[in-house]
Copies of this chain bind each other. A is one copy, B any other.
Amino acid sequence: MIQMEYLIRNLCTTRTSQEQYQTYTFESLPLQRGGQLAPVTIAYETWGTLNAQGDNAILITHALTGNSHAHDPQQPADPKAAWWNLLIGPGRVFDTSRYFVICSNIVGGCYGSTGPSSLEPRTGRPYGMRFPVITISDMVEAQYTLLRHLGVRHLEMVAGGSIGGQQALEWAVSHPEMVHKVAVIAATAALTAQAIAFSEIGRQAIMADPDWQCGDYSTQRQPDTGLAIARMLAMVTYQSEESMEMRFGRRPAQRDNISSPTHFPDLGGRFDVEGYLYYQGNTLVRRFDANSYLYISRAMDLYDVSEGYPSIEAALQRIRSKMLFVGIRSDFLFPAAHVRWLADKVRALGGNSSYVELDSPYGHDAFLKEWDQMAAALSLL
């Protein structure tokens, strides 16, 4: 009964989504920072067919506010129908005619997997901030359990960008024998101080919203203003000075029918970039849970590939997979130089590692936009 409530709540309250995902619930997940999560539900989608040996699977890992809907076979040509839609399908980089492609919503998320908006068994109410601190390693271990359940014995590839790239790297380090190839895209061994700073400012904006209610907000009244401000900031860090200048410059707003998060009148006009950010903030609050945002963004900050090992070298020496690291020229959240450094480090330690840089002005977001360059890079693996 509780499990049914889990599913219903997750399906109803995540404010989306027509997406058709399946779920798998297991008993418990021991957590890297202590304690456990029990039970755990993981939402996932698959495309293609697992072979009898269970060794033709590809795991796709999503970004912060993403979900399991990486591909939409009904609208395979529409880049907006699913987040990596154009890379997945028969004959594409993630070839569903040959591979069994899986994407699951991460632990802590709000798209069907157990997260802060799930009901806590002990109380029958949403976890809120009683949800435990989760890490990239916890996300990977939940994926591991799901894959075992699905009959996957060996992964042909793990690929993901941003926090998805952190997960891909963690897969290579924590399950070296299970993964043949790993694509770490727009992700590094650990976030910079600047990226942590941006992340924390967004969280403070959420927690400053009186509707946040220390995390115990109702489904009727959520910290929309705070979450919208956090999203506005994040959107700036996902782009670049160059791309924002090209797209908006100092042009006045094209649309002023969207209110700012605080609804106060514009002070001396509205720039186009402001209207765009209001729109982005507004859009996220209709589809994402504020507490999930806090926990998942924190997991990004906390990630350090060396955690649990004597040194970063000790961690990276565990890698047995063929590694592809993809940096983005204009990314200032995960600077290309840091991605390259990591690729070089793995190679220096004897690993099979290559580095490709996307020549894109779009900043961090390029891995969700530059389809041709992405396909070309991934085909090198």
Chain A residues proximal to chain B, CB less than 8 Å: 33, 129, 133, 190-194, 196-198, 200-201, 203-205, 207-210, 214, 225-226, 229, 232-233, 236, 239-241, 244-245, 247-250, 260-262, 264, 267-269, 271-274, 277, 294-295, 298, 301-302, 304, 332, 335
Contacts and interface: CB of A to CB of B under 8 A. Distances in A.
The quantity of this chain's copies bound in the complex is 2
B229 A201 contact: yes
B271 A294 contact: no
A271 B192 CA distance: 11
Of all A-B residue pairs in the complex, the 8 with the closest CB atoms, nearest first, are: A207-B262, A193-B244, A193-B248, A133-B268, A193-B273, A194-B241, A267-B298, A194-B244
Contacts of A260: 204
Contact of A244 (B192, B244, B274, B302): B192
A237 to B, nearest CB: 10
Contacts of A332: 241, 332
A268 B298 contact: yes
A269 B200 CA distance: 12
Nearest to A131: B267
A236 B247 CA distance: 23
Contacts of A214: 264
Contacts of A207: 262, 264
A335 B330 CA distance: 14
A267 B133 contact: yes
Nearest to A226: B208
Given A225-B208, A268-B302, A301-B271, A236 B197 contact: yes
Contacts of A249: 193
B133 A193 contact: no
A247 B192 CA distance: 11
Most buried by B among A200, A201, A261: A201
B205 A245 contact: no
